[in-house]
Amino acid sequence: MSPVAELPTPALLVDLDRLERNVARMAAAFRGAGVGLRPHAKTSKCLEVVRRQLGAGALGMTCSTPAEVAWLQAAGVPDLLWAHAPVGPPKVAFVVDAVRKGGLTVALDSLEAAAPLSAAASAAGVEVPFVLEVNTGHARLGVEPGHVPATAASLAALPGLRLRGLLTHEGHLAAMPDRPSLEAAGRTAGALLARLADGLRAAGHAIDVVSVGSTPGATSAPFAPGVTEGRPGTYVYYDANQIRLGSCTIEDCALTVLARVVSVQRAGRPIIDAGIKAMSSDTIAAAGSVGLVGTPDVTFADANEEHGFLLDPGGRLAVGDLVRIVPNHACGTTNMWSHLYAVRGDTVEARWEISARY
């Protein structure tokens, strides 16, 4: 136990009270609706956080990279969904090995992606459980909804693969102009996926997973009747982007970068010792800033690698002062660090490792 003010800067902090509240609230909302919660592990990449999410009732975790899958398998997390594309010989070999260890489902969206996995799984004598990814508006991975019946049938017919259901990432919600249209788009995406799943059941497929996933959509898409699980990730920390999208307020933001003012040579424009390498270069689309400064009237204007440029019109900050910045994107920020400090109020309670950074 030591004071936050004595930490070397920059440092990544997680506020334990806020973390615990975020974990409990999301778990309660999903439990209340009878929907499974499968948080995305990429936001924290931290076993201490994952354990809290599982302890609050999460049915398993979502991963985006082989490193995350391997890390959580080694930690004994029994139910993992790799929500990316297992394409290319190294990833195919990895999946076959990880499925043999148990508890992994992957996502696929084409015959081209599925065929090599089918061949490798058959040769190894394993059956790879998979969900078919569907584009409900984000237009990244995923078959178009109209192609779901045919693609599902052709992938399900491949040896070594077992169709479990459907998955979407409703990332397009972030482009909605206001919260009501965002919520409506979330409900539409969830309902569409559930309807497509019903169609597959009617065609004779045994579907047990209908999986939506995002933090902006976490109050809408998972609660469409027929959706079985949601995969929000960012909610565990929230961030400045989620404030902008109406998912949270600044009081919910658990992840901050502690930085120190190192120069005020130009009046009203303090320089701090945290820039892109402390927060990643993810920006708020329109504002172009690199986070919110948790100090009234002070804003983040720009960043170089290890320098942050603040605007402090009142001239309140002096050399040596500490500031705490809520990053735009919690997941990108986490990935810049090998550890973070768990703090309660002004006291550091623990130092936690950040794992599987790539």
Q: State the residues that interact with ligand PLP by CB under 6 A.
A: 40, 62, 83, 169, 213-215, 231-234
| Count of CB atoms situated within 10 Å of the CB of 178 | 9
CB of 138 to ligand PLP, least distance (A): 9
Q: Residue 182 or residue 317: which is nearer to ligand PLP going by CB?
A: 182
**Chain CA centroid to CA 149, Å:** 29
CB of 147 to ligand PLP, least distance (A): 19
Q: Residue 33 or residue 262: which is nearer to ligand PLP going by CB?
A: 33
Q: Residue 134 or residue 342: which is nearer to ligand PLP going by CB?
A: 134
Give, as one character, the DSSP assignment of residue 217: G
CB of 77 to ligand PLP, least distance (A): 16
CB of 39 to ligand PLP, least distance (A): 8
Q: Are the CB atoms for 50 and 28 separated by under 8 Å?
A: no
Sign of CA dihedral 351, 41, 58, 249: positive
Q: Residue 118 or residue 211: which is nearer to ligand PLP going by CB?
A: 211
The DSSP result for 47-116, as a single string, is HHHHHHHHHTT---EEESSHHHHHHHHHTT---EEE-S---SHHHHHHHHHHHHHS-EEEEE--HHHHHH
CB of 292 to ligand PLP, least distance (A): 18
Q: Residue 236 or residue 323: which is nearer to ligand PLP going by CB?
A: 236
Helix intervals (H) in 125-254: 148-156, 179-202, 240-244
